[in-house]
Copies of this chain bind each other. A is one copy, B any other.
Amino acid sequence: MYTLEEIDRILENSARLSTISREPATLYEPLDYMMSIGGKRIRPKLCLLTANLLSDDFRNPLIYPAMALEVFHEFTLIHDDIMDRSDTRRGCPTVYKKWNENVAILSGDVMSILAYKYLAYAPQAVLPQVLDLFTTTAMQVCEGQQYDMDFETQPFITMDDYLSMIGLKTAVLLACSAKMGALIGGASKEACAALYDFGYQLGIAFQITDDYLDTFGNEKVFGKKIGGDIVNNKKTWLLVECLRRAAGEQKQQLEKLLQLGEDRRQEKVEAVRGLYVELGVREAAADAILVYHKKAMDALAASGFDPARTRVLAQFAEELIHREK
C-alpha cells in the first residue's frame, strides 16, 4: 500500500503529462496556468487510493484516467469563475481575469475534451463503464452548477435543496473519483458501489467544511479573504441553516444584512458571523461535517476491504475535513 505522501509524489510527477505545450499558445497556455497554480489534486488522489486497495500496480494507464478527473475539475473552475465573475482563485488571478472571457470559455472547452483523451487510457475491458460513470457525473456537475446559480435569486432554499445541489455540484465528482479507481482496479460491483457512497458522503462533508472555512477559517492559511460567501449571499450550509433557524427579530436582522452591499462588507461579514454563532449555526455545521464523515467511514467499512488496507483512505478523509484551507 502506498502512503499519502507517496501518492502525492506520483501525482506531482504526472503533472507533467497534463501540461501540454501545443499550438495555438493562446489556447493551451491557460491550461498550463491552471494546472500550475496549485490545487490539492483531491480527485485523482482519491482515484489512486481506491485503486490501491486492489493493487500496488500503478502503471501509466491508471494515472491518465485519474488525471482526467483533475483536468475536468479545472475546466469546471475556469467556467465557474466566468459565470461568477471571480477575479481570484487560490490567491492568483482567474483565467477569466488574467486573459479574458473568450479565452476562458475556449480553454475551458478544450480542457473538458482533454479529460476524455486521458480517460480513454482506461483498460478496454472497463472503458464503457468508466465512460458511463464519468459522463453521468460530468452532466450532474453541470446540473449542480445550474442549481447553484438558480438559487442565487431565490430568497430561501431548504436544507434538502442545498444538499441536493452540493450533491450534484461537488459530491458526485468525489464519488466518481473513488469509484473509478475501484472500477479500474477490478473491484466487485458491491465494493464499487460502497466506495462511490464513501466518496459521495465525503464530498458532502468536504463542501460543508469549505462553507465553514470561508466564514470561520484562518485567512492566512485559507488563501483568500474570509467572508466572501457572506458578501455574495451565497447559499452555503451556514446561511441555509441560519435562514431556517432565524425567527422574529433575528430573521429581520438577517434579511437586512443580506441587503448590504460591497461597501459595507466588513460590517456585513462580522454581523452575519455573529448571527451564525448566536443561533448555534457554527456548532451545527461542525456537527454536520462529522455526521457526513461518519457516513463516509461507514460506507468505507461496507466496501469489504481489510481495515489495514482502508487505513490510508480513512486518513485521507480525516485530513480533508480537518484541513485549514
Task: Give A contacts to B, CB under 8 Å.
Answer: 22-24, 26-27, 79, 82-83, 102, 105-106, 108-110, 112-114, 116-117, 120, 124, 127-128, 131-132, 135-136, 138-139, 142-143, 145-147, 149-150
Contacts and interface: CB of A to CB of B under 8 A. Distances in A.
Top 5 nearest A-B pairs by Cβ distance?
A27-B146, A110-B142, A113-B138, A83-B102, A120-B131
Contacts of A83: 102, 105-106
Contacts of A82: 102, 105
A155 B62 CA distance: 46
A108 B108 CA distance: 11
B143 A27 contact: yes
A127 B138 CA distance: 19
Contacts of A102: 82-83, 149
A124 B113 contact: no
Given A83-B102, A105-B83, A105-B105, A116 B131 contact: yes
Contact of A106 (B110, B113, B114, B146): B146
A156 B82 CA distance: 31
